[in-house]
Structure 1
Amino acid sequence: MWGGRILSGLVILFLLFDGAIKLIPLDVVTQTMDQMGYGGSDAMARALGLITLLCTLLYALPSTSLLGAILLTGYLGGAIAAHVRIGSPLFSHVLFGLYLGLMVWGGLWLRDRRLRALLPLR
């Protein structure tokens, strides 16, 4: 149980930071979005920050954590697809969304008895 809380806590802290820098938005965010072909729009960065924070909040609350994990999976899948599209380095950029997604689901699996019953390790 504590391992799941710690793992989920690390994911939540990272995603809160990620969402916050998009809400501001910092220059590094808009420059990276521009390099990825999405334009350097402050409005787009803020929208992505809001989505990140909303999904993270849903994940952090025990009653909506499963919905939050599902939404974060979709969000991270989009990030993976974007990095594949521009030819980013595989292990550091493309698969980062996979690493984070595994941490999202691993933390939830460790802290939620119902999910462990639904998806047991065999």
Structure 2
Amino acid sequence: MSITQTAPVSSGALWAGRVLSTVIVLFMIFDGTIKLPPLDIVTQTMVQLGWPADPNVARMLGIMGLISTALYALPRTSVLGAILLTAYMGGAIATKVRVDSPLFSHTLFGVYLGIILWAGLFLRDPKLRALIPLTR
């Protein structure tokens, strides 16, 4: 089956994908918006992670996360958004590795989010399922 001939999405898969994607979108909206003012707890945490205590750095990270999230939420740009969010999570993982954070609770949190965001997109996008078939 080619990408232009996609199998219909079952109602259950579509809703599961929407729920998973909504979890990611809501989490990333929260993550991005707390970096915009930025809150004191944000800059304090950034210093602990080896980032400068510069509010502009926090804002830049928040804006990048929010733009990537908006792209992920829009069906026409969802794959681009997923790629950008995956890169964003990779930066978070690298930061956690660098400061020797606990592996399963902190360092791999970005991996967990990445799995959820790609699973949500996979379940709601028939073109992606045709491109990456899990079964033949």
| Residue type of the alignment partner of 1:108 | L
Q: State whether structure 2 residue 101 is matched by structure 1 residue 88.
A: yes
* Deviations 1:3-62 (CA, angstroms, capped at 9, x unpaired): 000100010000000000001111111011101111111000000000000000000000
Q: State whether structure 2 residue 11 is matched by structure 1 residue 4.
A: no
Compute the displacement of 1:89 (Å): 0.5
Compute the displacement of 1:67 (Å): 0.2
By relative contact order (CA 8 Å, sep 6+), the higher-ranking structure is 2
User: 1: CA distance between counterparts of 2:39 and 2:117?
Assistant: 25
| Larger Rg computed on CA atoms | 2
Q: TM-score under structure 1 normalisation?
A: 0.98
Q: TM-score under structure 2 normalisation?
A: 0.88
Q: State whether structure 2 residue 11 is matched by structure 1 residue 18.
A: no
* Deviations 1:94-115 (CA, angstroms, capped at 9, x unpaired): 0000000001100000000000
Moved over 2 A (4+): none
SS in 2 for 1:38: coil
User: 2: CA distance between counterparts of 1:10 and 1:72?
Assistant: 14
Provide the aligned length of Structure 1 versus Structure 2.
122
User: 1: CA distance between counterparts of 2:87 and 2:119?
Assistant: 16
User: 2: CA distance between counterparts of 1:91 and 1:41?
Assistant: 29
User: 2: CA distance between counterparts of 1:85 and 1:46?
Assistant: 22
User: 1: CA distance between counterparts of 2:18 and 2:132?
Assistant: 18
Identity of aligned residues (%): 61
| Residue type of the alignment partner of 1:7 | L
Which of 56, 59, 64 is equivalent to 1:43?
56
SS in 2 for 1:37: coil
